[in-house]
């Protein structure tokens, strides 16, 4: 059992002891400032970071850059204006300026801001938006990515073609291979590609960058969420390593990313280093002497939730060894200590997401941060800085230095916004789930908890399904919004969840409605038996994506379990999903074949086959731009509910994808869900 320590704002925020106590709500959630992307200066004395502030009236977030001393001696100060978008702060090699991305010139370009005073200078001025960038080790070049047409030789050619297509009156598009669309965007034939631009004496990028990844039919970085951690400079600045999946005609059912190296001047074609592995290789990192390439690798093709093993490749011989082979966790992108002896990464682990230090030679693993979710980190010459959030606190920056070894909090944003708010107290618990095996979950008390009273239950089911509900702060499925409305929360990390070993994660594949449902039932029973303030007679279940699938599965297979359901972006028909989702590798792994090869696997736990048994009132939510789980799944679900005469509503967002992101839409989502729960639990 873990009773979690409450964060800085968990009870009554400092300086607000006279504020009227209240619970946390969605208006609080969408208006919080969000700290991200901390970067230590070369001398380790300062931290640049990104802050998202909400302009609720304009229905958007505004990104700006800030600076704070790494010793926390003074408060953070703003570097860029609140209204002008500035993202991705990266230090110059001498630490005197910061490079960043901004669309302030009319398109997304690289800028440089001198810290000694003066205005930001536009470094790049290209006809296409810059996607990502990295400064070279000597500070004289930029690795930079653009979305281009691969048969165009110049950036200007790609821009001209885009303009020509935009001028065509006919709207039809012809495709002859997948992807035709991905996440929330339809394909227009462009690929994200890696270039290198020299910086002139004036610090500006040259007009015609070298096309380093030319000839690669794939995206560098990957879409839709890839970033510059998918490519890396060699220490001498002569080579770039990058990850790419060769598309061909199999892109939609392949996870075969390989690592390539290419000269920074594009004088030779990229060379494939990991062609022998048909699974995912990625996230390269050079050793300081340039002799070793560290990277992450999966071992099972087409399985996106396989364990990422840390590898070390001797670049002279090609010999590769595993690092921390017995560490049963999936590593994230790596960083290296100043002395080159220690690798740093973060990973899900027993409901937490700590920062880990791994000895590059022995593989010894040390947990550096313990409780909480490490959202980002930066390793410096004399210590490190990290962004941490918990179930009771949004992200704050913390620093540790080799000098004192202690932890120093650097930011205290949102103190005024959270004044007087009482957070619900969380607690992790364990129980015996499927087959008597250990399963973990947590409960959260309502903000106004009083001993001796019972409270209605919001039973949350996470998506993925290879994900986890952990000790973190979430902007879409935040338990505090339910606790703040007076509900108790139960969340179970059922078989298939991450952070409990790869065998536990693997166990859901081919068994979506089996072990997880058993764990959810046993978890509910265990929680109610352990915590006498949970009212089992008043409970609603909620979930999105796989969690939404589970709502639909519960509707026909746990028919007396809940007073209501909320099914967001959910899978209603497994077979239809197998043909209509964009990333086909996901369903084909989970169902152990294609719908035409293994139809029985898709039908085994298919919610559509149990509609006749439904009776639980259900709120259905879906976005039109959801191409992961197409909106037709939500429409079909609502149609089935209506045709059965079951109380139901359909909340439809024409401008949202798999997630609900816009501030006003998020408020509407939460208000509709809250009203649905209260209508059935009060």
For residue 171 the two structure tokens come to 């709207």
Residue 31 forms beta bridges with which residues? none
Q: Is the pLDDT at 7 greater than 50, yes or no?
A: no
CA distance 418 to 484: 12
CA distance 8 to 418: 10
Query: Are the beta carbons of 79 and 67 closer than 8 angstroms?
Result: yes
Predicted confidence (pLDDT) per residue in 16-48, tens digit: 445 689 999 999 999 999 999 999 999 999 999
Give the pLDDT mean for 171-175. 96
Query: Are the beta carbons of 343 and 3 closer than 8 angstroms?
Result: no
CA distance 61 to 658: 19
CA distance 85 to 626: 26
Q: Which of 679, 646, 651 is nearest to 569 (CA)?
A: 651
CA distance 328 to 437: 17
CA distance 89 to 135: 11
Q: Using only C-alpha atoms, what is the Rg of the chain?
A: 25
CA distance 372 to 392: 10
Per-position DSSP letters for 139-181, written without gaps between them? SSEEEEEEEE-TT-SSHHHHHHHHHHHHH-S------SSS-SE
Burial class (CB in 10 A: 0-12, 13-18, 19+), 171: exposed
For residue 30 the two structure tokens come to 């969408």
CA distance 509 to 591: 7
Confidence of residue 10 (pLDDT cuts 50, 70, 90): very low
Q: Which of 677, 660, 672, 668 is nearest to 477 (CA)?
A: 660
As a whole number of Å, the end-to-end CA separation of the chain is 30
Tell me if residue 421 falls in helix, strand or coil: strand
Predicted confidence (pLDDT) per residue in 357-395, tens digit: 999 999 999 999 999 999 999 999 889 999 999 999 999
Per-position DSSP letters for 33-81, written without gaps between them? -EEEEEEE-TTSSEEEEEEEEEETTTTEEEEEEEEEETT--S--EE-S-
Q: Which of residues 430 and 12 earns the better pLDDT score?
A: 430
Predicted confidence (pLDDT) per residue in 223-259, tens digit: 999 999 999 999 999 999 999 999 999 999 999 999 9
Give the pLDDT mean for 301-306. 98
CB-facing half-sphere around the CA of 85: CA atoms within 13 A? 15
Give the pLDDT mean for 478-482. 98
Per-position DSSP letters for 434-462, written without gaps between them? GGG-EEEEEEE--TT--TT--EEEEEEE-
Query: Are the beta carbons of 281 and 243 closer than 8 angstroms?
Result: yes
Omega of the bond prior to 221 within 30 degrees of 0, cis? yes
pLDDT for position 19: 65
pLDDT for position 14: 38
What are the C-alpha distances in Å from 636 to residues 176, 601, 621, 633? 28, 21, 12, 5
pLDDT for position 5: 54
Question: Kind of pairing, strands 618-623 and 564-568?
Answer: parallel
Computed over every residue of the chain, the mean pLDDT equals 96
For residue 393 the two structure tokens come to 């606190």
Percentage of the chain exceeding pLDDT 70 = 97
CA distance 428 to 526: 12
Omega of the bond prior to 436 within 30 degrees of 0, cis? no
CA distance 427 to 392: 11
pLDDT for position 12: 39
DSSP state of 353: B
Interior angle at CA 248, CA 243 and CA 254, nearest 5: 60
Predicted confidence (pLDDT) per residue in 92-144, tens digit: 999 999 999 999 999 999 999 999 999 999 999 999 999 999 999 999 999 99
Per-position DSSP letters for 467-525, written without gaps between them? ----SS--SSS-HHHHHTTT-EEEEEE-TT-SSS-HHHHHTTTT-TTSHHHHHHHHHHH
Query: Are the beta carbons of 570 and 551 closer than 8 angstroms?
Result: yes
Contacts of 208 (CB under 8 A, 6+ apart): 154
Confidence of residue 404 (pLDDT cuts 50, 70, 90): low
Q: Which of 464, 469, 544 is nearest to 512 (CA)?
A: 464
Q: What is the pTM of this model?
A: 0.96
For residue 607 the two structure tokens come to 């919610």
- Residue burial 141-152, b: 16+ Cβ < 10 Å; e: rest: bbbbbbbbbbee
Active site residues: 545, 626, 658
| Strands ordered across the beta sheet of 320-323 | 281-286, 292-297, 309-314, 320-323
Query: Are the beta carbons of 587 and 581 closer than 8 angstroms?
Result: yes
Q: Element (H or E) spanning 622, and its range? A: strand 618-623
Question: Kind of pairing, strands 455-461 and 281-286?
Answer: unpaired
Q: Is the pLDDT at 302 greater than 60, yes or no?
A: yes
Q: Is the pLDDT at 589 greater than 50, yes or no?
A: yes
Contacts of 66 (CB under 8 A, 6+ apart): 48, 49, 50, 51, 76, 77, 78, 79
Give the distance from CA 460 to its chain's centroid.
Answer: 19
Confidence of residue 403 (pLDDT cuts 50, 70, 90): low
Confidence of residue 13 (pLDDT cuts 50, 70, 90): very low
203: left (phi over 0), alpha (psi -120 to 50) or beta: left
Q: Which of 303, 302, 356, 311 is nearest to 329 (CA)?
A: 356
pLDDT for position 16: 43
Predicted confidence (pLDDT) per residue in 314-342, tens digit: 999 999 999 999 999 999 999 999 999 99
pLDDT for position 15: 39
Domain formed by 426-681, architecture? 3-Layer(aba) Sandwich (3.40)
Helices 546-557 and 515-530: crossing angle, nearest 10°?
80
Helices (H) and strands (E) in the chain, counts: 11, 39
Predicted confidence (pLDDT) per residue in 535-553, tens digit: 999 999 999 999 999 999 9
Query: Are the beta carbons of 3 and 427 closer than 8 angstroms?
Result: yes
């Amino acid at each position: 059992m873990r009773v979690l320590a409450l964060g800085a704002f968990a009870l009554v925020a400092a300086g607000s002891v006279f504020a009227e106590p209240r619970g946390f709500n969605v208006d609080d959630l969408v208006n919080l400032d969000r700290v991200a992307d901390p970067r230590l200066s070369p001398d380790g004395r300062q931290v640049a970071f990104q802050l998202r502030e909400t302009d609720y009236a304009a229905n958007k977030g505004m990104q700006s850059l800030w600076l704070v001393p790494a010793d926390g001696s003074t408060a953070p100060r703003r570097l860029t204006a609140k209204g002008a978008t500035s993202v991705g702060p990266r230090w110059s090699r001498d630490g005197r300026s910061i490079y960043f991305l901004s669309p302030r010139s009319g398109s997304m370009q690289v800028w440089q801001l001198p810290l000694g005073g003066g205005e930001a200078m536009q470094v790049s001025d290209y006809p296409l938006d810059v996607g990502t960038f990295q400064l070279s080790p000597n500070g004289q070049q930029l690795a930079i990515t653009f979305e281009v047409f691969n048969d165009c030789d110049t950036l200007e050619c790609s821009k001209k073609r885009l303009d020509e297509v935009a001028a065509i009156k006919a709207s039809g598009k012809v495709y002859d291979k997948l992807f035709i669309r991905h996440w929330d965007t339809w394909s227009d034939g462009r690929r994200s590609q890696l270039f290198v631009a020299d910086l002139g004496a004036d610090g500006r990028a040259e007009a015609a960058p070298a096309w380093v990844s030319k000839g690669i039919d794939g995206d560098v970085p990957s879409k839709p969420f890839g970033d510059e951690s998918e490519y890396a400079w060699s220490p001498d600045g002569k080579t770039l390593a990058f990850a790419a999946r060769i598309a061909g005609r199999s892109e939609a059912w392949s996870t075969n990313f390989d690592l390539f190296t290419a000269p920074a001047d594009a004088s030779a074609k990229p060379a494939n280093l990991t062609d022998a592995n048909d699974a995912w290789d990625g996230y390269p990192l050079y050793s300081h002497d340039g002799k070793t390439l560290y990277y992450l690798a999966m071992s099972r093709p087409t399985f996106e939730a396989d364990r990422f093993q840390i590898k070390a490749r001797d670049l002279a011989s090609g010999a590769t060894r595993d690092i921390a082979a017995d560490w049963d966790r999936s590593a994230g992108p790596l960083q290296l200590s100043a002395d080159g002896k220690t690798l740093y990464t973060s990973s899900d682990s027993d409901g937490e997401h700590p920062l880990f230090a791994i000895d590059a030679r022995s593989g010894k693993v040390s947990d550096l941060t313990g409780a909480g979710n490490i959202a980002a980190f930066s390793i410096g010459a004399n210590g490190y800085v990290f962004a941490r959030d918990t179930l009771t606190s949004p992200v704050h920056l913390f620093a540790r230095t080799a000098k004192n070894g202690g932890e120093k909090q650097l930011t205290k944003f949102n103190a005024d916004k959270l004044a007087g708010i009482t957070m619900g107290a969380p607690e992790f618990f364990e129980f015996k789930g499927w087959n008597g095996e250990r399963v973990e979950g947590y409960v959260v008390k309502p903000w106004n908890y009083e001993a001796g009273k019972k409270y209605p239950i919001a039973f949350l089911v996470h998506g993925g399904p290879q994900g986890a509900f952990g000790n973190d702060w979430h902007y879409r499925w935040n338990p505090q919004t339910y606790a703040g409305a007076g509900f108790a929360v139960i969340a179970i990390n059922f078989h298939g969840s991450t952070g409990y070993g790869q065998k536990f994660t693997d166990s859901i594949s081919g068994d979506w409605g089996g072990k997880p449902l058993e764990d959810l039932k046993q978890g509910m029973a265990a929680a109610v038996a352990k915590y006498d303030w949970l009212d089992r007679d008043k409970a609603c279940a909620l979930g999105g994506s796989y969690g939404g699938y589970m709502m639909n599965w519960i509707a026909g297979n746990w028919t007396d379990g809940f007073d209501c359901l909320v099914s967001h972006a959910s899978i209603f028909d497994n077979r239809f999903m197998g043909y209509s989702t964009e990333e086909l590798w996901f369903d084909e792994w989970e169902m152990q074949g294609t719908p035409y090869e293994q139809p029985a696997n898709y039908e085994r736990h298919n919610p559509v086959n149990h509609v006749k048994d439904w009776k639980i009132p259900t709120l259905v939510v879906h976005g039109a731009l959801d191409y992961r789980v197409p909106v037709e799944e939500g429409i079909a679900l609502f149609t089935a509910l209506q045709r059965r005469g079951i109380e139901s509503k359909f909340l439809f967002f024409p401008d949202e994808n798999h997630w609900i992101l816009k501030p006003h839409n998020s408020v509407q989502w939460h208000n509709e869900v809250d009203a649905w729960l209260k209508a059935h639990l009060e």
